[in-house]
Amino acid sequence: MRSARQARQLSGGGVAVDCQSSCQPAGGLSSVSAGRRAQDRNRWRKTGIPEDIVFKTKPQIAFEQIHEAYEAGLPRGVVLMDAGYGANTELRTDIAALGLSYVAGIMPNSTVWIPGTAPLHAKTWSGRGRPPKLIRRDRHHQPVSVKKLALSMPARAWRTIPWRKARRAAHFAFGRLRVRVAHRDYNLTKSRPERMAVDRVAEE
């Protein structure tokens, strides 16, 4: 078994949408020009880029398309995202707000609150100024990276599952825990709900 954990995933609260189009650039026209107005307006007109196009990140474009599919009433499924999209906390939050399920790859340095823990409540109001509302953490109360959490899981927490039926089927060990995403939650007034964190390790 390799010591380095790979393919971190969070499963939460879907729609599987093809965000590529055969008639537009990946991400749609919103991704054209990387956030800058084209200097040559003639090129804009020749390529059919609307004058009012503004820059949007790939996660913003992805959610816009998922939302359009949701509003159109397309059959619901599960939103699948690699880490390029899944590492975006705002995107995952917006998808969950629609009541959709998702499975998203995240980065090993993503931080979470381990099972049984959560951010500290807002500080007690001193009676002066505005009452504190933001949840917090301190030097002794901190979230951990999903990599550190995975490495701390005991052997009994892992289950080996064949990945596919073939002459040489791959085998992976899976472990799962319910955690709370910690990304910048000190800017929030309440902690995020628990999600299922799944770690996958290839076995030799």
Confidence band (pLDDT; 50, 70, 90) for 71? very high
Share of the chain above pLDDT 90, in %: 58
How many angstroms separate the CA atoms of 29 and 17, rounded?
A: 17
CB 155 within 8 A of CB 1: no
Query: What is the band of 168 on the pLDDT scale with cuts at 50, 70, 90?
Result: low
Strand, coil or helix: what is 67? helix
Contacts of 184 (CB under 8 A, 6+ apart): 89
pLDDT category of residue 14 using cuts at 50, 70 and 90: very low
pLDDT of 97:
95
**The predicted structure's pLDDT at residue 60:** 95
Write down the pTM of the prediction: 0.71
Residue 174 has pLDDT above 60, yes or no: yes
What confidence tens digit (pLDDT) does each residue in 76-102 have?
999 999 999 999 999 999 999 999 999
| pLDDT digit string, tens, across residues 187-201 | 999 999 999 988 877
Q: Which two tokens stand for residue 10?
A: 């969070």
- Is 201:138 a contact under the CB 8 Å cutoff? no
Mean pLDDT score across all residues of the chain: 80
Provide DSSP, the chain.
Answer: --SS-EEEEEE----------TTS-TT-GGGGGGGS--S-HHHHHHHT--TT-----HHHHHHHHHHHHHHTTPPP-EEEE-HHHHT-HHHHHHHHHTT-EEEEEE-TT-EEEPTT--PBPPPPP-SSSSPP---B-BTTB--EEHHHHHHHS-GGG-EEEE-S-STT--EEEEEEEEEEE-TTGGGSSSPPPEEEEEEEEE--
CB atoms inside a 10 Å sphere around CB 49: 17
Tens digit of each residue's pLDDT (9 = 90 or more) over 103-159: 999 999 999 999 889 999 999 999 999 999 999 999 999 999 999 999 999 999 999
DSSP-based three-state secondary structure for 7: strand
The mean pLDDT of 22-47, rounded to a whole number, is: 55
185's tokens: 């939650």
Mean pLDDT of 157-163: 85
The pLDDT score that the predictor gives to residue 54 is 74
pLDDT at 95: 96
pLDDT for 18-32, tens place per residue?
333 333 444 454 544
Of 33 and 127, the structure prediction assigns the larger pLDDT to: 127
* pLDDT, mean of residues 173-177: 90
Distance CA(179)–CA(48), nearest Å, equals 46
Question: What is d(CA 172, CA 114) in angstroms, rounded to the nearest whole number?
Answer: 23
Locate the domains of the chain by residue range.
6-34+51-202
The H or E element that residue 70 is part of is helix 58-71
